[in-house]
Chain A
Amino acid sequence: MTTEHAPIIQMKDIQKHFGSVIALAGVSVDVFPGECHCLLGDNGAGKSTFIKTMSGVHKPTHGEILFEGQEMHFADPRDAISAGIATVHQHLAMIPLMSVSRNFFMGNEPVKSVGPLKLFDHDYANKVTMEEMRKMGINLRGPDQAVGTLSGGERQTVAIARAVHFGAKVLILDEPTSALGVRQTANVLATIDKVRKQGIAVVFITHNVRHAMAVGDRFTVLNRGQTLGTAQRGQITPEELQDLMAGGQEMVKLEGSLGGTV
């Protein structure tokens, strides 16, 4: 596996308190280049807080973040982005009214000089967008096609391609598959696989064990702000993961009555 490399990002004993609420009570996770690290947990388990800490939105109350071996203190998300930690949010990734190419280069617009003016280099943007989309297996009508005309899975793919194009070393995917149909989910999972093979570390947040098992190399389960350990692929069964997420025995009973379909 990838364990012989040094981890690209290490989160050590991260605690985060919001007033009297302890959202994270000492979570440690390592992520290696080229692995897909699945972060599982039920709603309220602390997944969001954890990735927001990783991407610079929150500052940890206690604990340290090592990025490529260096201790990092991100002041805001832009710091994290420039270091190479990109987050793809489920809903807040793309602007539907704008074209794919405008979305792709949003915040990183290429510029060409025409006389004294610095203009948006649409030709370059369109060319790169079409190229990157083809690589990801999406056939655009044209670079000026609005994102609103794409399916949910395609939008996630555009967002992932964008993050990769702009040099992300760590890609955090916040529930990319939760609102998608079966086929679109498969597309997104395939995209994750492609990205991982490029040597990028993927942090895949989900509460769907089957999606996690499909692409994950390692699995970390969060429950009530604590990690219940990290498991390698092959060392854990989907049922065990499901149990860990539920954090107790109730799930076993429930599962029994549902005939193992959850």
Chain B
Amino acid sequence: MTSLMKKLALATAVAAAPLMMASAASADGEKYILVSHAPDSDSWWNTIKNGIALAGEQMGVEVEYRNPPTGDLADMARIIEQAAASGPNGIITTLADPDILEGPIKAAVDAGVDVIIMNTGSPEKAREVGALMYVGQPEYDAGYAAGIRAKGDGIGSFLCVNHYIVQPSSQERCQGFADGLGIELGNQMIDAGQDPAEIKNRVLAYLSANPETDAVLTLGPTSADPTLLALEENGMSGDIYFGTFDLGGEIVKGIKAGVIEWGIDQQPFLQAYLPVVVMTNYHRYGVLPGNNINSGPGFVTADGLTMIEKFAGEYR
């Protein structure tokens, strides 16, 4: 048994090491927590992490990033409750499903924690839960705007590659796009899963079954990157009309090469950076912008890609 105790002591010491580092790195200023709904596997959120890190550094505040490892929204609700219990100055969170998250967010607000809604959600919902403001891109509107644009380019049918089907906002994007085109969404949205190889093969399968499809719409790098490969493989690259939400390294290359017509940039960096700056100034000087901030949509085309190319996946 004594050797066992030694092992336990050792394990504790090993386990404690990163903890010490974490506490040593913390700043003296205000403490904010950003809670996202994204599973660990979603690389797009890296920009958000970089955004809060930069904002924290510039403002001299401590910002932590938390997310449910599997993307389970019920787990996210617990994380918000937990964040509120740890007594930060403010919480920045997405509002992926108001039904679930409303309760915990309201409780946090009532307990004296300021909340800003970022990314998913809407100005109306943010007001309802008692948040200071909303920073992000209204999803349906963005999809609708893209649909109108595509209609102008003569598109009549499309494939929506949805890699996050259980997330209501991702459906709103597809629905908005369909409504913008003025057509029924119907079966044009596929559940692509999260695995790149699966996504690629499902896109290939859909396009070979429906060769008259005019356009492809992907919802982020997770679905766009494999779709690029799929189009290259079946020779539709550059021929089929390709639009995507969000940016990433491969997407930028695709836009440059003329394979992707446009990317809808919701500028996640701003969604992470601005709430931290806004909150810090609000807590330090009591100043607060009088309105919500729309970080997007901005259509990114082949013109003026240099800056984006340089910072894609990092700050863009």
Asked if chains A and B are in direct contact (CB within 8 A), the reply is no
